[in-house]
Structure formats: C-alpha cells, structure tokens
Amino acid sequence: MLSQMGHNLDITGAWQQAERHFKRALALNPKSVDAYLGLGFLYVHTHPKYASAAEHAFTMALALAKDTPLAGAHIGLTFAYYYQAKFRDAVREAEVYLALHPDDATMKDLRDLALERANKAGQ
C-alpha cells in the first residue's frame, strides 16, 4: 500500500522508487495482476497526466484476471477515463463497479458527473 502511494511519502524519490519497484515486479512476473493494479493506482492517484498509463495498467490487470472480479481496477479505470475526458468509458466502468457494489454513493456521484459531462460533450 505504501508503494502505491509513493508520492505521498515524505521521502525524496519515493514516487520514482515505487514506480521502479512495480516495473521490476512486472519484469520478473509479467502476469502479476497485483503489480499492474499497484502501478495503476500509483499513476491514477498522482496526477491526471498519468491517466493514460493508469488506463493501460488497469486494462492489463483485468485482462490477466480474466473472469475474476477486480473492483479496484474498475474504480481506477473510471478515474483514468474521466481524467482523459473519455466520459462514456468512465460511465461504463462505474456501472461495472456498481454492479459489484451497488450502494457506493461516491461512485454513483462520479458516474453521474461523468454522464453529465459526456452529454455536454456530445459523446
């Protein structure tokens, strides 16, 4: 968990070290769902400029997990898509997550906001 939030640690270079560790883990085991999830969360929690990289990491985690539900990946993808102004994709991922956790009010709010933005953008 601390590695995922490397940018929040009060240690110089913690973010870069966290990214290196996740990438090294993936070099050792390219099928590590957990490493892709961790890397995706590092990116999506850092800054919207990393949204595309987060999207890739979460997509890889879902592909490797196959039929195993990964609610966290859907949360991460919702934010990654939203940050990239891919609002319909964000709505879709929020709906997948809400199918697993229908009472999550925060995700409902994000879904509604993404839907509103999609409609305004004509997506």
For 92-123, the pLDDT digits (tens) are 999 999 999 999 999 999 999 999 999 998 87
Mean pLDDT of 73-84: 97
Domain assignments of the chain as residue spans, ordered by start = 6-121
Give the CA angle between residues 25, 79, 99 to the nearest 5°: 95
The pLDDT assigned to 77 comes to 98
Whether 11 has a pLDDT exceeding 90, the answer reads no
> Model pTM?
0.89
Q: What is the three-class DSSP state of 46?
A: coil
6-121, what's its fold? 1.25.40
Distance CA 50, CA 100 (A): 26
